[in-house]
Structure 1
């Protein structure tokens, strides 16, 4: 829901930062890989109840995720080479890996904090699975049928109640308030499930 306005606010500073780091040895794929490693580190730190470290690693991971696209577009504009799609594929698979493992890391870390239940985190993972299935299937079919939604990203993203911005905020809240992680997860799971239903309906109507 917030991705559009947040992207408009962050696009100029991220573009300037991409220009600063635009060096031959810094590639978009390497930034994506760094974000993946940082995200996995955040999950591991959360599982070990190192909440401050997990939060810092999570935010750095999401910063890297925000930088690989602007750098890739900058390089493409300079060289004129067509986008083969490999970077976009790597980016989305890295994102899914980070999202899933950080949920698991928080669930493990909070298991000994107030003996909270696991089911909210399992429900979040189910909701992520359904959302991923909806927008990835839509992107593939929309591309094939010539109905691609082009907002500058590699895939056709269907907007929804829960998007990347909300995900970054909620995952940060878990790490800031581990005692409240499971009720936050329960509410978040409901929001993401509603978003999955919204994407399924919107995608079906768009492709009819």
Structure 2
């Protein structure tokens, strides 16, 4: 829901950071992998109940995730881009790993430290699975049938109420408030579930 707005707001700062990082040794793929490593470290810190470290690592990892595409577009604009399709594949795979392990890490830490139930986090993982399936299946079929949605990203993205911005905020919120993370997870699973249903319905209609 907020991705388009946040991309417009953050485009200037991300462009500036990408320009500063635009050096031979820095590539979009390396930024993607750095973001993934930081996200995995955040999940580990959450599991260990190092909440302050977990939130810092999570936010820095998402900055790296935003910078990889910005740097790739900057280099393509001057004719110096690499394989954008491979980079897009790596990026979405890293995102799914980051989100999934993020849920697992906070669940582990919150259940051990605050007695929070496991089932809300399992519910989040289920709706992530359904939502991701609908998203990726639509993108693949839309590409093959010439119905691609081109908004500058590597995949055809059906935007709904739960997008990347909302996911980053919610994952940050339950790292800040781990004692309330179970309730946050229940509410979040409802929003993601609604988005999944919307994507299935809209995607089916667009592909008919």
Q: Which residue of 2 aligns with 1:103?
A: 103
Q: Is the 8 A contact 2:49 2:113 kept in 1?
A: no
- Give, in whole Å, the separation in 1 of the partners of 2:105 and 2:124: 13
- Give, in whole Å, the separation in 1 of the partners of 2:180 and 2:2: 23
Q: Is the 8 A contact 1:29 1:90 kept in 2?
A: yes
Q: Report the CA distance between 1:12 and its aligned residue.
A: 1.6
Q: What RMSD over aligned residues (CA atoms) do the two structures have, in Å?
A: 1.1
Q: Is the 8 A contact 1:76 1:83 kept in 2?
A: no
Q: Which residue of 2 aligns with 1:196?
A: 196
Worse-matched range after superposition: 82-91 or 195-204: 82-91
- The SS at the match of 1:146 is coil
Q: What residue ranges of structure 2 are gaps of 5+ in the alignment? A: none
TM-score (norm 2): 0.97
- Give, in whole Å, the separation in 1 of the partners of 2:44 and 2:114: 20
Q: Which residue of 1 aligns with 2:59?
A: 59
- The SS at the match of 1:113 is helix
- Structure 1 moving runs of 4+ over 3 Å: 80-84
Q: How many residues align?
A: 208
Instruction: Tell me whether 1:137 sits opposite 2:125 in the alignment.
Output: no
Q: Report the CA distance between 1:78 and its aligned residue.
A: 1.2
**How do 1:45-56 residues align onto structure 2 when only pairs under 5 Å count?**
45-56=45-56
TM-score (norm 1): 0.97
**How do 1:20-169 residues align onto structure 2 when only pairs under 5 Å count?**
20-79=20-79, 83-169=83-169
Q: Which residue of 2 aligns with 1:186?
A: 186
Q: Report the CA distance between 1:80 and its aligned residue.
A: 5.9
